[in-house]
């Protein structure tokens, strides 16, 4: 087998190994991250309290002062 073919094979195997290790590391990192919440975020216009409620709720009552608030839109 000629030398250029050996060098090419060595480089391809090395890059494939590095790619495999990077993919494995990324999948493991994602499996341990907390999942995002689907809850809506509310901020009370009266007292400034920030809280969350179910995603199907358009308006929610503040647990601190009782005022109804709209969800925050980002």
pLDDT tens-place values along the chain, 74 residues long: 799 999 999 999 999 999 999 999 999 988 888 877 788 999 999 999 999 998 888 899 998 898 999 998 87
What pLDDT does 1 receive? 77
| Three-state DSSP class for residue 14 | helix
Class of residue 16 by CB neighbours under 10 A (exposed 0-12, middle 13-18, buried 19+)? exposed
Model-level pTM?
Answer: 0.53
């Amino acid at each position: 087998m000629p030398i250029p073919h050996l060098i090419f094979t060595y480089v391809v195997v090395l890059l494939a190994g590095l790619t495999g290790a990077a993919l494995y590391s990324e999948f493991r990192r994602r499996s341990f991250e907390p999942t995002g919440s689907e809850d809506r975020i509310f901020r009370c216009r009266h007292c400034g309290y920030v809280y969350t409620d179910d995603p199907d709720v358009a308006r929610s009552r503040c647990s601190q002062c009782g005022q109804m608030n709209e969800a925050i839109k980002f």
